[in-house]
Amino acid sequence: MSPRTAGRADTSGTSPALDLAGVIADPDTRIIVCCGAGGVGKTTTSAALALAAAETGRQVVVMTIDPARRLAQSLGLRELDNTPRDVPAAAEFTAASGGRLQAMMLDMKRTFDEIVEAHSEPARARQILENPFYQALSSSFAGTQEYMAMEKLGQLRESGKWDLIIVDTPPSRSALDFLDAPHRMSRFLDGTMIRLLSAPARVGGRAYLKVVGAGLAIFGRIIAKILGGQLLTDVSHFVGALDSMFGGFRQRAQATYDLLRQPGTAFLVVATPEPDALREASYFVDRLSSDQMPLAGLVFNRVHPSSAPSLSAGRAEGAAESLSAVGGRDAVLAASLLQVHAQRMRAAAHEQRLARQFASAHPEVPVRSVPASATDVYDLAALRAIGAHLTAPTPSHGSTKTRTKRASSRPPA
């Protein structure tokens, strides 16, 4: 089953239902990318899907960008680092199927170092790694984390050790950060300003003045005053050492971008029933469609289902008011329970309105709702419970294909 055909018509007639069980079991699905606004549960969703996929017999690695320790604890690990490691606690759930689950947490500095070491001679690599400008760039430059996530994804896929890679994207507010990171980093490293700054290292000494002319010599002196002479030297030497790697940066960035557009990749947008989160989700859906990325659907996370829907919020509040007037311990307790019910019913109705707005804006995007958990995810059992909700059977009435064609839409209000 292709991610583009992962939806089945929902019996409510609002959104097609997202068949994630089919997505993770399909051997053609090799990469799943979970994305969305920060704080919507992307990391937990990624880990729960990874465990569910491993239980079907797949060899799975989940890569998270979120440094929170809670994920490592829920997987039964003391810590995560830049190297994929087995999740021993998952063995009891995957032994029967022969599946395997590994996990890692991106270390952008270490990944950048690996690029330098893999594409440079030892002496050149040492020169780059020890350069002060490189050390600052690889640790804190805007966009480095997103680029290194893409770089590490390419490395994992190229190794061939796993038949399914699940990526928890960086907790960024803007969907553009993840998709644009490779091109943004490439433009920076190959930009005119960097080329000018690297000219002294490439040409050297007085020859530099002859080659670039008096105008650029004045430019160099001005930049030296602004940045400081030593920083300008560090930048110049750094870019000079990296000069032979520029083509590699561009090629890998394009290769990873192309990899994400292949049918074997499935994007999942994760959102909570909140206007801001759904606006981000709507924007991301449109962006993925315009870039022709294979969108599997939306995970509508932390939903509050209606309790006893036959008793409306208004009736519950009326009964609570009557019981409060009666007085007495039992009546007060019953009134409190009715008030809680009324609040839940109103919250559920609000969330359903938001879901209908999203469905109206994106009628062909399959949706999977996951109920809110009473407690935080703290162990593998809690992850399995979320995975069970994510992969529960879908209604079988009809079929709707998920397409990447951009829908004319208006984000939820």
pLDDT digits (tens, 9 = 90+) for 168-186: 887 665 556 667 766 666 6
Whether 101 is covered by a domain: the verdict is: yes
CATH no. for residue 115? 3.40.50.300
From the list 12, 14, 31, the residue with the least C-alpha distance to 23 is 31
Could you tell me if 276 and 357 lie in one domain? yes
What gap in Å lies between CA 103 and CA 352, rounded to an integer? Answer: 35
Rounded to an integer, what is the distance from CA 124 to the centroid of its chain?
A: 34
pLDDT digits (tens, 9 = 90+) for 288-314: 998 889 999 999 999 987 666 778 788
Whether 12 is covered by a domain: the verdict is: yes
Q: What is the dihedral of CA 252, 254, 257, 259, to 10 degrees?
A: -70
pLDDT digits (tens, 9 = 90+) for 58-75: 999 999 877 667 778 888
Helix then strand then coil, in percent of the chain rounded to 5, is 55, 10, 30
Could you tell me if 345 and 358 lie in one domain? no
Would you state the pLDDT for residue 188?
Answer: 61
Write down the pTM of the prediction: 0.77
Could you tell me if 317 and 405 lie in one domain? no
Q: Please state, as a whole number, how many other Cβ atoms lie within 10 Å of the Cβ of residue 120.
A: 19
Q: What's the domain count of the chain?
A: 2
Q: Is 41 left (phi over 0), alpha (psi -120 to 50) or beta?
A: left
Whether 244 is covered by a domain: the verdict is: no
DSSP bridge partners of 64: 105, 168
Could you tell me if 7 and 92 lie in one domain? yes
Contacts of 385 (CB under 8 A, 6+ apart): 373
Contacts of 7 (CB under 8 A, 6+ apart): 16, 17, 18, 19, 297, 364, 365, 366, 399, 400, 401, 402
Task: Find out whether 260 and 293 touch, Cβ atoms under 8 Å.
Answer: yes
Place of tokens 């909700």: 389
Task: Find out whether 260 and 225 touch, Cβ atoms under 8 Å.
Answer: no
Could you tell me if 371 and 302 lie in one domain? yes
Question: Coil, strand or helix: which one is 43?
Answer: helix
Domain end call among 297, 332, 349: 349
pLDDT digits (tens, 9 = 90+) for 197-253: 555 544 444 444 444 444 444 444 544 454 444 555 555 556 655 555 555 666 777
Would you state the pLDDT for residue 94?
Answer: 93
Q: Hey, CA dihedral for 363, 22, 1, 150, is it positive or negative? A: positive
Could you tell me if 327 and 407 lie in one domain? no
Could you tell me if 96 and 34 lie in one domain? yes
Whether 381 is covered by a domain: the verdict is: yes
Whether 189 is covered by a domain: the verdict is: no
Would you state the pLDDT for residue 52?
Answer: 97
Could you tell me if 342 and 324 lie in one domain? yes
Number of continuous H segments (helices) and E segments (strands) in the chain: 17, 10
What gap in Å lies between CA 267 and CA 291, rounded to an integer? Answer: 12
Residue stretches of the chain with pLDDT short of 70:
1-13, 67-68, 140-143, 171-178, 181-250, 306-308, 395-413
Could you tell me if 270 and 333 lie in one domain? no
Whether 361 is covered by a domain: the verdict is: yes
Contacts of 18 (CB under 8 A, 6+ apart): 6, 7, 296, 297, 298, 299, 366, 367, 368, 394
What gap in Å lies between CA 352 and CA 412, rounded to an integer? Answer: 12
Task: Find out whether 30 and 163 touch, Cβ atoms under 8 Å.
Answer: yes
Q: Hey, CA dihedral for 131, 137, 139, 145, is it positive or negative? A: negative
Task: Please give the order of strands across the beta sheet that includes 367-371.
Answer: 7-8, 17-18, 367-371, 295-303, 265-271, 31-35, 164-168, 59-64, 100-105, 85-86
What gap in Å lies between CA 84 and CA 104, rounded to an integer? Answer: 5
From the list 398, 270, 409, 411, the residue with the least C-alpha distance to 10 is 398
Q: Please state, as a whole number, how many other Cβ atoms lie within 10 Å of the Cβ of residue 10.
A: 21
**Angle (nearest 5°) at CA 284 between 283 and 289:** 100
Whether 221 is covered by a domain: the verdict is: no
Could you tell me if 320 and 412 lie in one domain? no
DSSP bridge partners of 33: 167, 267
Could you tell me if 334 and 399 lie in one domain? no
Structural domain for 343, as ranges: 313-349
Would you state the pLDDT for residue 245?
Answer: 57
User: What is the H or E stretch that residue 391 is in?
Assistant: none
Domain end call among 349, 367, 401: 349
Could you tell me if 345 and 374 lie in one domain? no
Whether 254 is covered by a domain: the verdict is: no
